[in-house]
Structure 1
């Protein structure tokens, strides 16, 4: 009898976990500790003229909160401003000084994501 109760509890818990995972990957749930409320995603203003831009293809973003985490991490780099597009899984980077790609990789990695590729424009 006790075994049957434990099995039923485990099945119910697995059902909730599966439902939450499906919502997460559809982008319907609050992932990464975020919520569905509107996020303030203001673009960082550079103080010097922009000398170039790069396009980063980023892996692992599922929601606006993920995109904001990536944008905030990149914007911490001096002389760099990021604009993140969740739909295309990209970040456009504007810079007013030469920027090492490794700095970008490390910033995105620190936010918990991965850069698949970097292209210069």
Structure 2
């Protein structure tokens, strides 16, 4: 009797694993919990670095894939006077600003999209 119960449990686990594999093959694997197409990239019109005298480097926890990186970049690039670039390997965001920004504003921008700022530094 005990062997039959264990056998049934193993069959259920295998069926669930196969369903998960089928779903990943069909929709792709997304760490962000969605299987939608990646968000469209918001491009900054002014890419002249000399126009951005303030450079902040934010260490962000929770970014693990290119979709995460794009979400963070888009959050900053959608704001006037900001230009962000993510380095996914270092888990940081370089935010160039045309005017000085309060660190709490930058942190709130990241927190509002579901990530956590660990550190902010103003580069000179």
Query: In terms of Rg, which structure is larger?
Result: 2
Moved more, 57-66 or 5-14: 5-14
Structure 1 regions of 5+ residues with no counterpart?
Answer: 20-27
Give the aligned partner of residue 25 of structure 2.
none
Q: How high is the TM-score relative to the length of structure 1?
A: 0.70
Which deviations, in whole Å up to 9, do the C-alpha atoms of 1:2-41 show, x marking residues without a partner?
x83763355336757998xxxxxxxx93221257x88764
Residue 71 and residue 7 in structure 1: after superposition, are their counterparts in 2 closer, same or farther (change >3 A)? same
Take 2:61 and 2:15, find their aligned partners in 1: how far apart are those partners? Answer: 29
Is the CA contact (8 Å cut-off) linking 2:42 and 2:74 kept in structure 1?
Answer: no
Q: How high is the TM-score relative to the length of structure 2?
A: 0.69
SS, match of residue 94 in structure 1 = strand
Give the aligned partner of residue 45 of structure 1.
45
Structure 2 regions of 5+ residues with no counterpart?
Answer: 22-27
Give the aligned partner of residue 25 of structure 1.
none
- What is the correspondence of 1:2-41 to structure 2 with a 5 Å cutoff? 4=5, 7-8=9-10, 10-12=12-14, 29-32=29-32, 33=34, 41=41
